[in-house]
Amino acid sequence: MPRGLAAEATALDDGDVLRAVRKEFALDDGTVYLDGNSLGALPRTVAGRLAEVVGDEWGRLRIRSWTESGWWEAPERVGDRVGRLVGAAPGQIVVGDSTSVNVFKAVVAAVRLAGPGRDEVLVDAATFPTDGYVAASAARMTGCRIREADARDIPGEAGPRTAVALVNHVDYRSGRLHDLAGTTAAVHAAGARVVWDLCHSAGALPVALDAHGVDLAVGCTYKYLNGGPGAPAYLYVRRDLQPRFDSPLPGWNSHTDPFAMDSAYAPADGAARGRVGTPEILSLLALDAALDVWDDVALTAVRTKSLALTDFFLRCVEAYAPEGRVESITPAAHAERGSQVSLRCADGAAGVMAELIRRGVVGDFRRPDVLRFGFTPLYTGFAEALRAARVLGEVLAG
Ligand SMILES: *Cc1c(COP(=O)(O)O)cnc(C)c1O
What integer pLDDT is reported at residue 3 of this predicted model?
Answer: 76
Q: What residues of the chain score a pLDDT lower than 50?
A: none
**Does residue 223 have an active-site annotation?**
yes
Which mutation among 37, 97, 98, 99 tests ligand 1's pocket best, with the greatest number of atoms within 8 A of CB?
99
Indicate which residue's Cα is closest to atom 5 of ligand 1: 99
- The reported pLDDT for the residue numbered 1 is 54
Verify whether residue 222 is a known catalytic residue. Answer: yes
Told to judge if 373 belongs to the known catalytic residues of this protein, a careful annotator would answer no
Q: Give the DSSP per-residue string, 11-34.
A: HHHHT-TTGGGGGGB---SS-EE-
25 is catalytic: no
Does the 3-30+297-397 domain belong in CATH 3.90.1150.10?
Answer: yes
pLDDT of amino acid 90:
98
Cα separation of 321 and 378, whole Å? 26
CB–CB of 229/258 below 8 Å? no
Burial of 118 (0-12, 13-18, 19+ CB in 10 A): buried
Protein residue with its CA nearest to atom 10 in ligand 1: 99
Strand 120-124 versus strand 145-149 pairing type: parallel
Q: Please give the CATH number for the structural domain made up of 48-294.
A: 3.40.640.10
Ligand 1, from 39, 97, 130, 171: best to mutate by most atoms within 8 Å of Cβ? 130
User: What's the confidence (pLDDT) of residue 351?
Assistant: 98
Domain ranges within the chain, ordered by starting residue? 3-30+297-397, 48-294
The alpha helices in 170-273, defined as continuous H runs, are 180-189
pLDDT of residue 115: 86
- Nearest partner of 97 among 242, 223, 276, judged by Cα: 276
Query: In sequence order, which residues have a C-beta less than 8 Å from that of residue 275 and are 6 or more positions away?
Result: 75, 94, 96, 251, 253, 254, 268
Asked if 3-30+297-397 and 48-294 have one fold, the answer is no
How far apart are the CA of 242 and the centre of ligand 1, in A? 24
168 CB less than 6 Å from ligand 1?
yes
Pick the catalytic residue from 25, 104, 128, 365.
128
Distance 288 CA to ligand 1 centre (A): 20
Count the Cβ atoms, other than its own, within 10 Å of residue 66: 17
Q: Is 197 a catalytic residue?
A: yes
Which pTM does this prediction carry?
0.98
Residues in CB range of 268: below 8 A, 6 or more apart = 254, 255, 256, 275
User: CA 37 to CA 226: how far, in whole Å?
Assistant: 9
- How much is the pLDDT for 390? 98
Q: With a 6 A CB cut-off, is 130 part of the ligand 1 pocket?
A: yes
Q: Any idea of the CA torsion for 81, 86, 88, 92, to the nearest 10 degrees?
A: -70
